[in-house]
Chains A and B, each alone.
Chain A
Amino acid sequence: MSANHSTQTASQRYAWLATVVLSSVIFVFLMAPILAIVPLSFSSGAYLTYPLPGFSLRWYEDFLNSPRWMLSLKNSAIIGVASAILSMVLGTLASLGLAQWKSKWKPLVLALVLSPMVVPVVITAVGVYFFFAPLGLTGNYLGLILAHTALATPFVVITVSATLQGFDMTLARAAASLGAPPIMTFRRVILPLILPGLASGALFAFATSFDEVVTVLFLAGPEQRTLPREMFSGIRENISPTITAVAVVLTVISIGLLTMIELLRRRNERLKGNAP
């Protein structure tokens, strides 16, 4: 609509201009929180107000020197990586199976596999808490990893299934006709081609676990508090500038994950042969 200005009437141009202006305001609204918090984290003062009294890295130092924050960073990394690996393995196997499986039960199984994404997390968390507590799965890593894997797997299934949809099955048949056993076909033909999809699935899973706080509230003991869990308590009590530094660190990690996924997506598009 914007492309062809010569055919537009004046009112259409005004409507388009209004859309642009309105959208710009909404983009500011979307970016405002991130933009507001970054400068505060570099403030030399202890109050979260503008104008900043000066520049300093003291709040980042505070973060790096705090055993509590470092423990939570370690916990988040351990739980995130473990649930990403576990959900990638389970999710990829299931996606491969679902791509070939023909049954009237398939929609039901698919709905079940995707439902952790839809069911309010507090319900999953409470249910898992009731179920895990007598099994000794609260207050340790294993329970949290299992719960986070359940929440993250739908994202892996969606990502890998989308990749498989673009996968040319004749390649697998060609390999089979040349005498490759199924395992070899998978390892040498299918896997290299769907690897970008698997990697983005794993990144999604990691991001899901890394940002999750509700199940951690119920299942974690003091020794398993994750970064978002520490932030939750921090925000509840009073927001210290250290939290803004942590927030910036988390945002940088998010940007890193987003960039990696975007690069993988482009690579996948290229492999499929429909690059822009």
Chain B
Amino acid sequence: MTAAIVVGAEMPLKRRLRRAERARQLRALGLVLPLFLFLLFTFVIPIAGMIWRSVDDWEVPQVLPHTVAALSDWNGQDLPSETAFAALAGDLQAARAAGTVAVAAKRLNYVVNGSRTVLTSTARNLKTAPEPGTAKATLIGLNPAWGERATWAAIKSASGPVTAYYLLGAVDLTRDVNGAIVATPEDQAIYRDVFARTFTIGFGVTALCLLLGFPVAYLLANLPTAQSNMLMIFVLLPFWTSLLVRTCAWIVILQGEGIVNGSLQWLGVIDEPLRLIYNRFGVYMAMTHVLLPFMILPLYSVMRSISPAYMRAAASLGAPPATAFLRIYLPQTIPGIGAGCLLVFILAIGYYITPALVGGAGDQMISAFIAFYTTETVNWGLASALGAVLLLSTLVLALVYGKLALGRQTTGGLKN
């Protein structure tokens, strides 16, 4: 009897608790939702859109729709049939009327250099629609390029709806006239160099930051709190100073009539000013300065948590100080070294402003090319493809960083 009452009373309570918990979870979800939707609109969809642009091949299908359709069953070996020539003639006249020839011409020019002129001049000179059956002769008469397989292969390769052209181009690959993937001609192959340069500068800056950051973090972690808090200002103040201010200051310090050259000349060490800025040296100097706090802070937070008892234990067991440091202390700092290096490297390879201002033409990193193709030459496909490659590299590294940082339950010295 009593047992029945207890059981009867327990079930609704359990259910009520479950319901209350569900309501709590829904409320929690409701609180996260606004930010989620906001980031969807201002971050996720824009970046997804950028990635889509890196494969989107809309120009030729939109401007030359009938040609694309006529070429769909072309074998690619001989010249296309009369139907394709007629379709092209029709498309070109329509495109000229709509003023869209340049759009397709620009896209085709990426595939075969010179196609731009072929397309625009043909469209301009094609006064009337060719008589049925004479389209082939008419077009070849207007421009002999139409008698070449390569011109048609270019149109075929740009027929969409998606293309690997930009992504291949971002790693210096292209397709030849037969559709096989080959290396880009030497004079146009620059992006592997740019990526290599980006990663080289990233590695260099990371190594310099570790070299300079380690002693500072060690000092701060081993000083009494009051002193280390005081000295921490020297790390935090530059960290908080505007990037532009710091970059500008390095130019002032390192330029031809700058402080460093002035002092060295005054001391008689050099006669001519050294070239310290607008080259790789300036990039390393300024970027190391900007990113050093990102190395010091995670290193410091790890070193702070290392108990001095370990080193004392090592000493009491007879380890010389250097051995104790290398075998006992250093291994315990590895999580901090890992987090700091990854953070600095991730931030370094995405840098744009500092190399743009203190580097020379040969020191520009991948971000500069992304910006260049977006605003200057308007090759959004290539800009997006380069962006996609950079994004992929960053995300892989960030994933590793997340595993490291979450494992230690810290924010890795990020501003907090």
- Please tell me if the beta carbons of A118 and B245 are within 8 angstroms of each other in the complex: no
Does the CB pair A204–B415 fall under 8 Å? Answer: yes
**In the assembled complex, how far is the CB of residue B134 from the closest CB belonging to chain A, in whole angstroms?**
42
CA distance A109 to B252 in the complex (A): 44
Q: Check: B44 CB closer than 8 A to any chain A CB.
A: yes
The residue that A33 contacts in the complex, of B216, B249, B349, with Cβ under 8 A, is: B249
Cβ contacts under 8 Å, B69 to chain A: none
Please give, as numbers and ranges, the residues of chain B lying within 8 Å of A220 by CB-CB distance: none
Residues of chain B within 8 A (CB-CB) of A271 are none
- Nearest residue (CB) in B for A36 is B253
Cβ contacts under 8 Å, A113 to chain B: 35-36, 39
Q: Is the CB of A127 within 8 A of B353?
A: no
Flag whether A263 is at the interface (Cβ < 8 A): no
Is B247 positioned at the interface, with any CB of A under 8 Å from its CB?
Answer: yes
Contact of B31 among A2, A37, A93 (CB under 8 A): A93
A140 CB-CB contact with B under 8 Å: no
On whether the beta carbons of A121 and B47 are closer than 8 Å, the reply is no
Residues 392-416 of B, flagged 1 when their CB comes within 8 A of A and 0 if not, give 0011001001100010000100111
Q: Check A120–B394 contact: CB distance below 8 A.
A: yes
- CB-defined interface of B219-242 with A at 8 Å, one 1/0 digit per residue? 100111100000100111110111
Tell me whether A247 is interfacial, beta carbon within 8 Å.
yes
What's the least CB distance linking A222 to chain B, in Å?
15
Decide if B252 touches A50 in the complex (CB within 8 Å).
no
How does the 8 Å CB contact mask read for B9-49 relative to A, with 1 for contact and 0 for none?
00000000000000011011111111110110111111111
> Are A162 and B391 touching (Cβ within 8 A)?
no
What is the 8 Å Cβ interface bit string for chain A, positions 29-60, against chain B (1 contact, 0 not)? 11111101100100000011110000000000
User: Is the C-beta of A167 less than 8 angstroms from some C-beta in chain B?
Assistant: no
* A235 & B248 in contact (Cβ 8 Å cutoff): yes
Question: Cβ of B311 and Cβ of A1 under 8 Å apart?
Answer: yes
A190 at the interface (CB under 8 A from B): no
How many angstroms between the C-alpha atoms of A23 and B38 in the bound complex?
44
The docked-state distance in angstroms from the alpha carbon of A112 to that of B37 is 11
Q: How far is the CA of A153 from the CA of B9 in the complex (A)?
A: 47
The verdict on A19 contacting chain B, using a C-beta distance below 8 Å, is yes
A102 contacts partner chain B, Cβ-Cβ < 8 Å: yes
Quick one: closest B residue to A254, CB to CB? B240
Provide the bound-state CA to CA distance between A2 and B46, in Å.
52
Q: How far is the CA of A113 from the CA of B46 in the complex (A)?
A: 15
Report which residue of B44, B222, B244, B289 has the largest number of chain A beta carbons within 10 angstroms of its beta carbon: B244
Q: Check if B43 sits within 8 Å of A47, measured CB to CB.
A: no
Cα–Cα distance between A150 and B387 once the two chains are bound (Å): 19
Given A97-B32, A149-B38, A247-B242: A23 and B350 within 8 A (CB)?
Answer: no
Pair B238/A33 contact, Cβ less than 8 Å: yes
Q: Is the CB of B242 within 8 A of A22?
A: no
Q: How many residues of B contact A (CB 8 A)?
A: 96
* Residue contact B216 to A235, C-beta cutoff 8 Å: no
Cβ of A139 within 8 Å of any chain B Cβ, yes or no, is no
Question: In this assembly, does A184 line the interface, its C-beta being within 8 Å of a C-beta of chain B?
Answer: no
Residue from the list B35, B236, B249, B258 in contact with A258, Cβ < 8 A: B236
Given the contacts A127-B50, A247-B242, A90 and B35 also touching, CB distance less than 8 Å: yes
Do residues A15 and B321 form an inter-chain contact, with CB atoms below 8 A?
A: yes
B374 within 8 A of A: yes
Asked if A85 is an interface residue, CB under 8 A from chain B, the answer is no
Is there contact, CB below 8 Å, between A235 and B247? Answer: yes
The reply to whether the CB of B344 lies closer than 8 angstroms to some CB of chain A is: no
A49 touches B257 (CB 8 A): yes
> Which of chain B's residues have a CB closer than 8 A to the CB of A93?
31-32, 34-35
For A254, what are the chain B residues with a Cβ–Cβ distance below 8 Å? 237, 240-242
- Does chain A have a CB within 8 A of B371? yes
Contact of B253 among A32, A115, A130 (CB under 8 A): A32
> How far, in whole Å, are A158 and B49 apart by their CA atoms in the complex?
27
Given A50-B262, A147-B42, the answer on whether A218 and B321 have CB atoms closer than 8 Å is: no
List CB contacts (< 8 Å) of A117-146 with chain B: 117-124, 126-132, 146
Distance, CA A150 to CA B236, complexed state (A): 24
In the complex, which of the residues A122, A124, A159, A232 contacts B244, with contact meaning CB atoms closer than 8 Å?
A232
Candidates A29, A115, A127; contact of B49 at CB < 8 Å: A127
Cβ of B141 within 8 Å of any chain A Cβ, yes or no, is: no
* Interface 0/1 of A89-127, CB less than 8 Å to B: 011011011111111000101011101111111111011
Contacts of B223 in A (CB 8 A): 2
Among candidates B32, B248, B398, residue contacting A243 with C-beta atoms closer than 8 Å: B248
Would you call A235 and B43 a contact (CB within 8 A)? no
Neighbouring B residues of A128 by C-beta, 8 Å:
42-43, 46
Chain A residues with Cβ below 8 Å from B250 are 33
Complex contact A122–B415 (CB within 8 A) = no
A residues within 8 A CB of B112?
none
A66 contacts the other chain (Cβ, under 8 Å)? no
B384 part of interface (Cβ distance < 8 Å): yes
A189 contacts B by Cβ under 8 Å: no
Q: Does A257 contact B (CB under 8 A)?
A: yes
Q: A123-B370, A153-B35, A244-B248 are in contact. Are A236 and B242 (CB under 8 A)?
A: no
Residue A84 is within 8 A (CB to CB) of chain B in the complex: no
Beta-carbon contacts of A182-215 to B below 8 Å, as 1s and 0s? Answer: 1000000000000000000000100100110110
List of A residues within 8 angstroms of B352 by Cβ: 120-122, 214
Smallest CB separation, B360 vs chain A (Å): 14
Chain B proximity mask over A210-251: 1 for CB below 8 Å, otherwise 0 = 110110011000000000100110011001000110010011
Q: When A19-B218, A30-B238, A94-B34 are in contact, do A1 and B28 touch as well, CB less than 8 Å? A: no
What are the 3 closest A-B residue pairs judged by CB atoms, nearest first? A120-B350, A97-B31, A33-B249
Q: Knowing that A112-B36, A113-B39, A120-B350 are A-B contacts, what are 13 other residue pairs whose CB atoms are under 8 Å apart, sorted by A's residue number?
A: A23-B215, A30-B293, A97-B33, A101-B28, A123-B350, A127-B387, A147-B42, A228-B244, A236-B357, A239-B248, A247-B242, A255-B240, A258-B240
Pick 28 A–B contacts, CB within 8 A, sort by A.
Answer: A27-B216, A30-B238, A31-B237, A33-B246, A33-B289, A36-B252, A37-B245, A48-B258, A49-B262, A93-B34, A100-B27, A113-B36, A116-B39, A119-B395, A120-B350, A121-B350, A124-B47, A127-B49, A131-B49, A132-B46, A146-B41, A157-B35, A210-B242, A228-B243, A244-B248, A244-B252, A251-B245, A254-B240
